[in-house]
Structure 1
Amino acid sequence: MAIPTEHKTVQARILNYAQDIGWTVVPRAEAEARRGFDTAQAKPAERAKGASPFFVATLYEQVKALNPGFGESAAELVRRLASFPPGIRGNRDFLRALRGQTTFFEPHEVRERDLQLIDFDFWAGNRFEVTEEFYFHNGRDGNRADVVFLINGIPVLVIECKNATKDEAIALGVDQIRRYHAETPELMTPPQLFTATEAIGFVYGVTWNVVRRNLFNWKHEELGQLEAKVKSFCDRQNLLAFVQHYILFAEKESELQKFVLRQHQTGAVEKVVERAHHPAKRRGLVWHTQGSGKTFTMIKAAERLFKAPESEKPTILLLIDRNELEDQMVRNLEALGLHNVAPASSIETLNALLKDDYRGIIVSTIQKFRDMPANLNTRRNIYVLIDEAHRTTQGDLGNYLMAGLPNASYIGFTGTPIDATAHGKGTFKTFGIDDDKGYLHKYSIRESIEDRTTLPLFYALAPNELLVPTEVMEKEFLALAETEGIADIEELNRILERAVNLRNFLKGQARIGKVARYVAEHYRENVEPLGYKAFLVAVDREACALYKEALDAILPPEYSQVVYTGNNNDSQQLKQFHLASEEEKAVRRQFAKFGTTPKILIVTEKLLTGYDAPLLYAMYLDKPLRDHTLLQAIARVNRPYENEAEEMVKPHGFVLDFVGIFDKLEKALAFDSDEVSAVVKDIALLKSLFASKMAGATAAYLPLVQHGFNDKDVDGLIEHFRDKDRRKAFFREYKELEMLYEIVSPDAFLRPFMAEYGSLSAMYAVVSRAYAKRVYVDREFQRKTNALVQQYVDTTPLAPVGEMVQLDEHAIDQIKARHGGDETKVINLVKSIEKTAEDESDDPFLVGLADRADAVLEQFEDRQTTTQGALAELIKLLEENEERKKLQAEKGFDGLTFFIYRSLLDAQVAEAETVTRAIREAFVDLPAWRESEKALRDLRNKVTGAIFPAVEDVDKTVAIVDMLFNLLAKAYRI
């Protein structure tokens, strides 16, 4: 039966579909010639030496056509574009060049002019080409991208193709893209986008941001069809729109990061621009759920409006809801190359800017519109983009704004569902008046969770004795009409100040101590073992201080940190937790990092809106919130987080309710019931899911263990899970169970499942240790599961899998004499070879031996060899290694020197031993050759000098030196 190949099933189809939509397919040989490959050379690395990542002639022709007066030569142009430093900053500068934000000197006009690399106005005048097997070598490493799309000879998109028959095919494709960045960053400096596909899925992202949470599935109505996805994503105008508009760089936590707007964001931006230029309609509401990138959507809409010719030198007013975000918004706008940006630092400044007819982008808060004169500016090309529109324009402030700018266009942005109160309906009427559905563009919570833009939220109620009495909560909070639809946390605080009995209960000394102990225990047992962090939300600033003191008596003081706004009139108790601006920024940064303190932030108002820390998993809620304030607060924990180094994938956010607000969910969230059900769910659902999954897993897997995990069971498990698909299914099912167990535990509900779950965990231990690609698997178990495994199976013989053998002259006899089946011996022997190679990584022979052992294991897993055949092959490797060690000892060589000696013998170099000793001296003189490019160059020169007298032929000497260093690079994986 024919096996589908990567090229046939994916790569060739992509080229065909690209050709259908207007791309010219350039055969590989022609592409390499146009990039300057040396066709006289046979080896890829030699052929690619000095080759350009560009189609040089095409690039030069297009630049000359687009830039009258351009006088540089083709070589100078290529040198200029190749000079950007490989890395994210060079990639940012290259994007600026693609957008026409660099210049060239025009000698006839004696001035600098913008250098156009792409014609975005007359898009069809560009050259659109696509090629495959795009090889690049930087003198150290070489990589071959599957498919590359070029505009005017410049690579802008890289597609990595995988065979759909491979396990985790798309993940493997993304790993390839990561490797390109690490090994050949020069190749990845011009391209701005990448995708990975195995003909079914189609994942895309931007170069220099290959974190999994920033990779997205390209959505198309014809789901699962490669043709539809290629033809929509690779549409020439779509790619130009990405390059021109929808890729951005921003400083986040003092680090430059790159982002791409997703389909819901680009769709909203297009709608906003269209509405703003509409001759009659002047309002619109963009309704995108919390955490789906609303800020970047606003920024890009502002940029598009400012630069659009139809806007005719406009004024863009960006209204945000908090003063602390003004500086951040200005910095982000300037990072896009927008310099006509004016922060309105006061009411007077704002009035002056509008009265003086400022043309550019003004950043302000709604509060600065208080008492603004009517008809301050009556121009039509004023575009007002309002963040958190559900609350920003409520009351008199919205009236001042709209009276002061009567002819402006108003686009509201909201991240929460529109509530069912009069104010919520008013938001629809204010901004949705021109749309039948009440909104211009919507991206719902349900869509966001399906796309993993945000995560589902689960809640649990604290023990009854800690919850606010129902009658107090009802009388002083839920029954108050003024709390309905509340959208401003400052207004909420004023209401809570009058709720005397409620606040006294929440801040009772005995209760504070009990809640603090409960929080500390829950965090230590349920959150910290998973590696995540938490918020404790207190009713007011005094409660924050009380909780900090109580937690410090239970947890190390560095575990928690209070963050609130200080006041000069504060008591000494409150002042002790004041933070200077830079201190607070440092706390925010540290909290967002894995493995650092603080681990728990104690807050009451600050950080409950606008602060994104994906590592935040749990919220301990001890403050009555409802409607928008509740939704905005709990949305802090719904941000996706993935850490591949720690094997962490955040499954959802979690809220532990100490006030009882979730016991009255229909009152607490006055939104459409479909929206509420998508937002937050009772953790009891996870318990139900755990029970059903356990029933299936125990029936399917526990019968495989018949003898209490003795050596027969271990051998049986290794044989049963030799099949990769079977193993993959078991690992997936077990990991789902493990995550549910870690979240729910400790809970009495789990008691009936513990023995069976412990047995499944032991099975996973056996199988994963047997087939893991690494000798030691970090975080093999979550901590609570690990403790359970030790409790239930610490007396069972799990040790034989992964039990090491000393690789000496006794190794073969030890292996043969051991108890257990041949399956276990194969696994243990491979692990022993891998471990020895890891421990003695300076011996290239052992590194090569480990690679050969891995190949035997691969054949064993694929059933291309029998168990006895695999064991015989591994024993043969050990015998070869023993012979090698004896000869090496006779010569008095170390591992590296003997490796060189054998390589020179294979190359038939005369006087190989003498030459080897000379080369060894060169390695001793230059110990940094594996880290320093200069040391490597110097070493090659010395090695060449040592070999040439014995060979007396320049070409042959160069070939031997290349051969030797290629072998060393492979052995040392450099």
Structure 2
Amino acid sequence: YGRLREAIKRINADDGPVDDLTVDRAIRALEATGGQALLEKNRILTERLIKGVPVESRKPGAQRQRWVRFIEFDPAKQDRNDFLAINQFRVDLPGRGTFVIPDVVLFVNGLPLVVVECKSPSITDPIGEGLDQLLRYSNNRYWVDEDEGVEDLFLFNQLMVVTSFYKARLGTLGAYHEHYMEWKDTTPLTPEDAAAELGKTPEALKSQELLAAGALRPGQLIDILRNFILFKVEDGKLVKIAPRYQQFRAVHKAVNRLLTGRTRQQDEKDQDRRGGIIWHTQGSGKSITMVYLVRKMRTIPKLRAFKVVVVTDRTDLEKQLRDTAALTGETIRPDDQDNRRRTSATETLKAILREESPDIVFAMIQKYLERTGEAEVFEYEVPVHPPKHREEGLVADAPRTKTLRQVVRDQEFEVLNESPHILILIDEAHRSHTKTFHANLMKALPNAAKIGFTGTPIMQCDKASTQSIFGEFIDKYRLNEAVEDEATVKIVYEGRTADGLVEHTDRLDQKFEDQFREYTEAEKQIIKNKYAAEGDVLEAPKLIAAKAADMLRHYVRAVLPNGFKAQVVAVSRLAAIRYREALEEARTRLVVEIEALDPGKLHLSDEDLEREDAYSRFLIGAARHLDTIRRLEFAAIVSHNHNDPPSWRDWTDKASQDAVIARFKKPLVHEDPTKQDGLAFLCVKSMLTTGFDAPVEQVLYLDRKVVAHELLQTIARVNRRVRGKDCGYIVDYIGVAGHLHDALGDYDDETHDPMVDVRDEVPKLRDRHKRVLDVFLTRGIANIRDVEACVDLLADVKIRSEFINTFRLFLESLGIVMPRPEA
């Protein structure tokens, strides 16, 4: 407490001397908590470290209440803080006659903010052992019933680090292995400066040195505490979030551009130079990056007064910002008082945007700007021929033509606010935010700075217009980087059209061209966009039933054993609902088939099992999960149309959809049955293919043509990382891989295919298997069944390390290819 007491006096001296009694009261106010769980206490104490505490003073002549701070956050006054690192810090466990000794503890003003566990790189699994030790110290090993840690050490903890020099990972209190990440950047320090301090070249910096330079230097650690620590509730459980290095880097770059860029009035070309584009791939936390940026701005005097306008259609981002507002002392507009105004939502938002106040305003620009321009309506009359492959008869008087209508409207909007102290943050800044939308923004908020966030690369044809709106790129974090960092999982692709489930798909486009050869290319494109040429075929009930059965077999074989879930993307709303029904029927049939198995076949030896046909082997394997298969449920989520049949209401009603999504996000299997849910499949057309974050989803079955940025966003639904999920699957029934390869050629600076074809993994599996065997066979062991000789060989640390690395890669490929026969 001596260091804390002295720091309190130094930090608060500008407001007058701090007497010992006030110091004592401040410390008591800081530490006061109830009977909450450790992480809830940590949340309360973290907030007090950031904001300080009010302390009553009874000293005659002194102010009655003063605000006492415990950490100096001003970068120019960091000498007021006391930084201390202790090696082998012993902490006794009260009443238990034992103790723990973390390798390194970092103290700021006498408070332990960081615990570091160091492991030798020569042991079998240094990172895993270190993480297990940190969980033990903090009483977070849920599989251990007894009290084994010392929670008081972690009351003020902000970061947890485990390192073996060559690899170091950073996480937070309560996080498990999959949430610890490497820190690969030294921002705001340059790699050259960081390396020079160690007498190295930037290329020679190891993982431990990058993490220490980028996250644990005094200035960075204080910055992370103040601006980059978040708490949120996931699945009813409080979790603590620390930044990833790309988020920290992007925020610092964005802030620097806001501070140094020219405003529109200062620029010779009448353009605002303070913004730009942040391209962080899907699943890498770009929404949280927005939250970090707003918090960081509020601590910088020149940016504190900015009005921040967040443009998005995603309610989850609004909730993140609202939940964070408590730490910044702000509210999100429109708030409850705004909503009580007797004006329309449009007028309320306009009034807020006109105000000269540093609000955070959440808005869909398209919704509140008035549309006063002239509208031009194009109508196209197109023939509708009876489909040859539809299995349901047409009504006798069914129309033989359809009218396609497209409305093009010139839009002119009023000026709402000409202040340069406005920042517009635009979520998913791809093609929809160009052209007309640019005019919307420029007219309403002509002098605002703009930062666009995107999870997909910018198409080359749109690069010029996008950058003319937002400016140059601020930061990039590509998909391959996210996979390498294990921030997301790799996506494994399986093409199923070759299986004969869809016949003659190559002829569909040609048939369309023949049918509509008298129309112009522009007219044909409108027809294609509105009525997919293959729609009638892909909606056919028998074809859907065949595909649904195939999907369920794939799911039961590759996904269900790991406890994950699935999404089906269908060609239409009707097809999505039919898929739901077909999957239910397929599950019922599968259960009957499993129950009809000869009980003796459930206990066959591996050799006898190989003699069975492929489908029998599948059923025997599925029998192990029969109870779970019986529980499987299926739902559809589609948009509402006033002409929908009444039976669709369960799948179009907003409240019902929210309930279905909440159920889907629960684990399929859980040790506590009340926390699991058998809803395993969501069948959709377009809903939930973008902006939907459900880590429990591992496979997406594609039966609709998806192109360009929508395709990249759609396949990213399965790349979210969660414990036990090594990869995501895209199972393609429409031949979308070719569109993906074409699309990648249209994008700027994105040449990495985001999907791995499962067929490419088979030769890789063979190669990795050979490398594992060669660890033994090249060192004089003729037969690896000689277990004793193999174990003796692994006594050598270097050989054991080589075996562990090769075996890990082999298991990675095996997990992708299994349980296919090739494996």
Q: Which residue of 2 aligns with 1:428?
A: 467
Q: Which residue of 1 aligns with 2:419?
A: 379
8 Å Cα contact 2:497/2:734 also seen in 1 = no
**Which one of the candidate residues 197, 213, 217 is aligned to 2:179?**
213
Q: Which residue of 2 aligns with 1:849?
A: none
Instruction: Measure, in 2, the Cα distance between the counterparts of 1:609 and 1:91.
Output: 34
* Equivalent residues in 2 for 1:389-428, closer than 5 Å: 389-421=429-461, 423-428=462-467
**Which one of the candidate residues 620, 631, 636 is aligned to 2:712?**
631
Give the Å deviation of 1:663. Answer: 3.0
Q: Which residue of 2 aligns with 1:96?
A: 47
Give the Å deviation of 1:348. Answer: 1.9
Q: Map Cα deviations across residues 939-960 of structure 1 (whole Å, 9 max, x no partner).
A: xxxxxxxxxxxxxxxxxxxxxx
Change (3 A) 1:582 1:512: closer
Instruction: Measure, in 1, the Cα distance between the counterparts of 2:695 and 2:757.
Output: 21
Instruction: Measure, in 1, the Cα distance between the counterparts of 2:553 and 2:307.
Output: 54
Give the Å deviation of 1:82. Answer: 3.2
Which AA in structure 2 matches 1:454? T
**Which one of the candidate residues 60, 65, 68 is aligned to 2:16?**
68
Q: Map Cα deviations across residues 921-951 of structure 1 (whole Å, 9 max, x no partner).
A: xxxxxxxxxxxxxxxxxxxxxxxxxxxxxxx
Q: Which residue of 2 aligns with 1:224?
A: 206
Give the Å deviation of 1:347. Answer: 1.9
What TM-score does the superposition give when structure 1 sets the normalisation length? 0.63
Instruction: Measure, in 2, the Cα distance between the counterparts of 1:636 and 1:217.
Output: 25
Q: Which residue of 2 aligns with 1:360?
A: 359
Which AA in structure 2 matches 1:331? R
Q: Which residue of 1 aligns with 2:616?
A: none
Instruction: Measure, in 2, the Cα distance between the counterparts of 1:331 and 1:476.
Output: 49
Aligned residue for 1:694, secondary structure, equals helix
Q: Which residue of 2 aligns with 1:83?
A: 32
Change (3 A) 1:357 1:574: same
Q: Which residue of 1 aligns with 2:694?
A: 613
8 Å Cα contact 1:69/1:106 also seen in 2 = no
Give the Å deviation of 1:574. Answer: 1.7
Q: Which residue of 1 aligns with 2:813?
A: 740
Instruction: Measure, in 2, the Cα distance between the counterparts of 1:105 and 1:474.
Output: 82
Change (3 A) 1:707 1:97: closer
Q: Which residue of 2 aligns with 1:304?
A: 296
Instruction: Measure, in 2, the Cα distance between the counterparts of 1:609 and 1:339.
Output: 29
Q: Which residue of 2 aligns with 1:270?
A: 252
Q: Indicate the larger mover: 275-284 or 546-555.
A: 275-284
Give the Å deviation of 1:583. Answer: 6.2
8 Å Cα contact 2:497/2:732 also seen in 1 = no
Q: Which residue of 1 aligns with 2:196?
A: none
**Which one of the candidate residues 515, 523, 542 is aligned to 2:555?**
523
Aligned residue for 1:675, secondary structure, equals coil
Change (3 A) 1:576 1:231: closer
Q: Map Cα deviations across residues 473-513 of structure 1 (whole Å, 9 max, x no partner).
A: 57869x99xxxxxxxxxxx9997663253111111122101
**Which one of the candidate residues 476, 479, 490 is aligned to 1:445?**
479
Give the Å deviation of 1:697. Answer: 3.9
8 Å Cα contact 2:664/2:680 also seen in 1 = no
Instruction: Measure, in 2, the Cα distance between the counterparts of 1:726 and 1:381.
Output: 61
Any unmatched runs of 5+ in structure 2?
140-148, 187-201, 264-272, 340-344, 372-412, 517-523, 588-629, 670-675
Q: Map Cα deviations across residues 844-900 of structure 1 (whole Å, 9 max, x no partner).
A: xxxxxxxxxxxxxxxxxxxxxxxxxxxxxxxxxxxxxxxxxxxxxxxxxxxxxxxxx
Instruction: Measure, in 2, the Cα distance between the counterparts of 1:266 and 1:462.
Output: 41
Instruction: Measure, in 1, the Cα distance between the counterparts of 2:819 and 2:229.
Output: 45
Q: Which residue of 1 aligns with 2:649?
A: 575
Give the Å deviation of 1:659. Answer: 0.7
Give the Å deviation of 1:106. Answer: 4.2
Change (3 A) 1:318 1:532: same
Give the Å deviation of 1:714. Answer: 5.6
8 Å Cα contact 1:366/1:393 also seen in 2 = no
Q: Which residue of 2 aligns with 1:466?
A: 501
* Equivalent residues in 2 for 1:546-695, closer than 5 Å: 546-555=578-587, 556=630, 558-567=632-641, 569-578=643-652, 581=655, 584-585=658-659, 587-588=661-662, 590-593=664-667, 595=669, 596=676, 597-642=678-723, 648=724, 650-672=725-747, 675-695=750-770
Change (3 A) 1:632 1:112: farther
Give the Å deviation of 1:657. Answer: 0.7
Q: Which residue of 2 aligns with 1:130?
A: 85
Q: CA RMSD in A?
A: 3.3
Q: Indicate the larger mover: 74-83 or 286-295.
A: 74-83
2:273 aligned with 1:200: no
Q: Indicate the larger mover: 169-178 or 544-553.
A: 169-178
Instruction: Measure, in 2, the Cα distance between the counterparts of 1:165 and 1:66.
Output: 51
Instruction: Measure, in 1, the Cα distance between the counterparts of 2:466 and 2:701.
Output: 31
Q: Indicate the larger mover: 692-701 or 407-416.
A: 692-701
Give the Å deviation of 1:679. Answer: 1.7
Aligned residue for 1:553, secondary structure, equals helix
Instruction: Measure, in 2, the Cα distance between the counterparts of 1:609 and 1:290.
Output: 10
**Which one of the candidate residues 218, 232, 238 is aligned to 2:220?**
238
Instruction: Measure, in 2, the Cα distance between the counterparts of 1:133 and 1:66.
Output: 36
Total equivalences in the alignment: 670
Give the Å deviation of 1:67. Answer: 5.5
Instruction: Measure, in 2, the Cα distance between the counterparts of 1:430 and 1:708.
Output: 63
Q: Which residue of 1 aligns with 2:342?
A: none
Which AA in structure 2 matches 1:132? N
What TM-score does the superposition give when structure 2 sets the normalisation length? 0.74
Give the Å deviation of 1:730. Answer: 4.5
Q: Which residue of 2 aligns with 1:314?
A: 306
Instruction: Measure, in 1, the Cα distance between the counterparts of 2:454 and 2:284.
Output: 11
Q: Which residue of 2 aligns with 1:3?
A: none
**Larger gyration radius, structure 1 or structure 2:** 1
Instruction: Measure, in 2, the Cα distance between the counterparts of 1:226 and 1:206.
Output: 17
* Equivalent residues in 2 for 1:5-24, closer than 5 Å: none
Change (3 A) 1:568 1:113: farther
8 Å Cα contact 1:269/1:297 also seen in 2 = yes
Q: Indicate the larger mover: 138-147 or 261-270.
A: 138-147
8 Å Cα contact 1:306/1:315 also seen in 2 = no
Change (3 A) 1:715 1:214: closer
Instruction: Measure, in 2, the Cα distance between the counterparts of 1:449 and 1:359.
Output: 38
Give the Å deviation of 1:735. Answer: 5.1
Which AA in structure 1 matches 2:101? R
Aligned residue for 1:310, secondary structure, equals coil
Q: Map Cα deviations across residues 270-323 of structure 1 (whole Å, 9 max, x no partner).
A: 22222223343243111111111100111121222244311362211011134x
Instruction: Measure, in 2, the Cα distance between the counterparts of 1:225 and 1:561.
Output: 45
More helix as a share of residues:
1
8 Å Cα contact 1:249/1:336 also seen in 2 = no
Change (3 A) 1:694 1:598: same
Q: Which residue of 1 aligns with 2:564?
A: 532
Instruction: Measure, in 1, the Cα distance between the counterparts of 2:217 and 2:174.
Output: 23
Instruction: Measure, in 2, the Cα distance between the counterparts of 1:730 and 1:311.
Output: 53
Which AA in structure 2 matches 1:90? K
Instruction: Measure, in 2, the Cα distance between the counterparts of 1:87 and 1:204.
Output: 19
Give the Å deviation of 1:728. Answer: 6.1
8 Å Cα contact 2:497/2:735 also seen in 1 = no
Which AA in structure 1 matches 2:293? A
8 Å Cα contact 2:567/2:701 also seen in 1 = yes
8 Å Cα contact 2:291/2:321 also seen in 1 = no
Give the Å deviation of 1:545. Answer: 0.8
Aligned residue for 2:559, secondary structure, equals helix
Any unmatched runs of 5+ in structure 1?
1-34, 36-53, 433-437, 481-491, 643-647, 755-974
Instruction: Measure, in 1, the Cα distance between the counterparts of 2:784 and 2:302.
Output: 77
